[in-house]
Chain A
Amino acid sequence: MPVACLSIPHFSIRVALAAAAEAKAKAAAASATTTNDSGHASPDHFHYDGRTPIILRDPERTDTVVIDANAEAARHGIRPGQHLREATALSPLAVIVARDPVAETQRADSILKHLLAISPLVEADEHDPGCWYIDLIGLERYYGSLEGAARAIHRCVPAGVNPRIAIAPTRFAARVVAGRAETPETRILDEAQAQAFLATASVTWLPLDPGLIRQFQKLGLSTLGTLAQFDDRKLFARFGKPGRTAWELANGIDRRPVMATRLPLTITEAASFTNPTSSLPVVMAWLHHLVTRAFRRPDLRDRFVGKVILHAMLERGGSWTRTLVLKTPSGAEQLMQSLRLRLQSLEVSAPIERIAIILTDIMPEAARQQVLPALRQRTDGHLQGVVTQLAQRYGISPLYRIVEVEPWSRIPERRHALLVFDP
């Protein structure tokens, strides 16, 4: 049962650095020197593989903690979960980069899409960004050998990123081998080699509750080899099912199959702002426009959506994302109500340059209470007719409505704007 594990260590840091570099290249004309908000050196001056300690923070979290730290930062004693102040005290020259969730999703989706061309069974590790499992059962002959399959996997990764690829009999063994590789490499292990490799690995690799792993360590079971030699019945008696699972994984028994990633139908609409804005009314007006447009597409005709993902690309790099799972599948109007409710206290760290709305979990509408024709509002229908006629005559609807953009702005032309009227 060959399973491949593709691992890109510190994926979020790499993506954040690449996105920052891209943003810098885009804003090359801007003369302003970029410095990050902590006063530390700017991230885009550094390459990931340099010798600079790099710390990842989440710009959306109020508690400023380290999300991830590269190997150099770890050498200075910086660990995920530490307070940023503590981390910068440990390494004053550390570069702090803000996580870019939108770029992460886009790059991960792109890699997943390429991997799905190699094998129908590809699973992204939901707890470990930058890690994918690829089931290679029955594909050895197609690729000629496992080495051929590994080369095909390597081609799925963008140039410049040096991944760790491991092929082993089980997904756990493949994960440990890929995860322990200190340099970019491809390793293919048979059952005996994988077992020997696992024996020396730490129990911290077990995908189990950290509390249970701490208990193992307190009991002197610090490596998978020592755990494998332990009596499984005693582990089961003491720790229950997780104890049995730990013993099995340590012995190279992994019953977890690679689960096929479902690619649901999604509909994406996006808009770019000429003048970046942080005004909620403008963002809501554009969301309304995008939602209306999405629901006019044939794929959404007489259908409802269950989940909405919002992506906002911020000025000078960085991004913001929100996922809204709707209580009930919703049409355009209900969806806008939910968005208004959820985004009423929207606060973003920088003006928004581009906004995208991704509608997914699309399903047929179950039932809809129709309003009697006599009670239906006539205005909307009438206006809709007028707008359609004008749009047909002039190519674009010449009707606009005034929206507040930045009513507090000292620059008069930034205060109000005309938005396409689309009832």
Chain B
Amino acid sequence: MVAHSGTPARPAGLRSLNQPRPIAIVERNGRPVSIAIGQRTQPIVQVQDTWIIVDEWWRTPIDRQYFQVLLENGHLMTIFLDRIAQTWWAQEY
């Protein structure tokens, strides 16, 4: 009998795409008002949409409030507030 090769099948080789990136946000009353991009701060002109995702409570709970925001420079951006860790992240949706 030939035993298991013992070499891990590189589970880390399965890399998730579109991982959230941490960002610095200035918020007011729980709503984002500006985003720090590099050295500059971009004010948020408008929050176009917002939605909440609560999932995987049986594993590692996920509780996020997403915002689709329009920046002053005209770019659209999707950010979310991790409502468990109270941290802000950017992620394409």
Contact, CB under 8 Å: A417 / B14: yes
Most chain A beta carbons < 10 A, residue from B2, B5, B15, B56: B2
Cβ contacts under 8 Å, A270 to chain B:
4, 9
Contact, CB under 8 Å: A420 / B16: no
CA distance A268 to B7 in the complex (A): 11
Cβ contacts under 8 Å, B18 to chain A:
412-413, 415-416
Chain B 6-45 interface mask (CB, 8 Å, partner A; 1/0): 0111111111111110000000000000000000000000
Q: Measured between C-beta atoms, what is the minimum distance from B13 to chain A in Å?
A: 4
CA distance A299 to B2 in the complex (A): 8
Q: Measured between C-beta atoms, what is the minimum distance from B58 to chain A in Å?
A: 4
Contact, CB under 8 Å: B4 / A420: no
Cβ contacts under 8 Å, B1 to chain A:
263-266
Within the complex, which residue of B2, B55, B92 is in contact with A268, where a contact is CB–CB below 8 Å? B2
Within the complex, which residue of B9, B17, B19, B59 is in contact with A271, where a contact is CB–CB below 8 Å? B9
Contact, CB under 8 Å: A272 / B4: no
Contact, CB under 8 Å: B55 / A410: yes
A402 within 8 A of B: yes
Q: Measured between C-beta atoms, what is the minimum distance from A350 to chain B in Å?
A: 10
Cβ contacts under 8 Å, A159 to chain B:
none
Give the A interface residue count (CB, 8 A).
Answer: 39
A392-413 contacts to B, CB under 8 A, are 396, 400, 402, 405, 410-413
Contact, CB under 8 Å: A411 / B62: yes
Contact, CB under 8 Å: A413 / B16: yes
A-B contact count (CB 8 A): 88
B65 within 8 A of A: no
CA distance A272 to B9 in the complex (A): 7
Cβ contacts under 8 Å, A418 to chain B:
13-15, 17
Cβ contacts under 8 Å, A316 to chain B:
58
Cβ contacts under 8 Å, B91 to chain A:
412-413
Within the complex, which residue of A268, A297, A412 is in contact with B93, where a contact is CB–CB below 8 Å? A412
Contact, CB under 8 Å: A267 / B2: yes
CA distance A315 to B56 in the complex (A): 13
Q: Which 6 A-B pairs have the closest CB atoms?
A: A271-B9, A420-B13, A418-B15, A416-B17, A32-B58, A413-B16
A residues bordering B, Cβ < 8 Å?
Answer: 30, 32, 263-275, 282, 286, 289-290, 293, 297, 299, 315-316, 396, 400, 402, 405, 410-420
19 A-B pairs (CB sep. < 8 Å): A264-B1, A265-B2, A268-B2, A268-B3, A269-B4, A273-B11, A274-B12, A274-B14, A286-B14, A299-B2, A315-B59, A400-B15, A412-B93, A413-B19, A416-B16, A417-B15, A417-B16, A418-B17, A419-B14
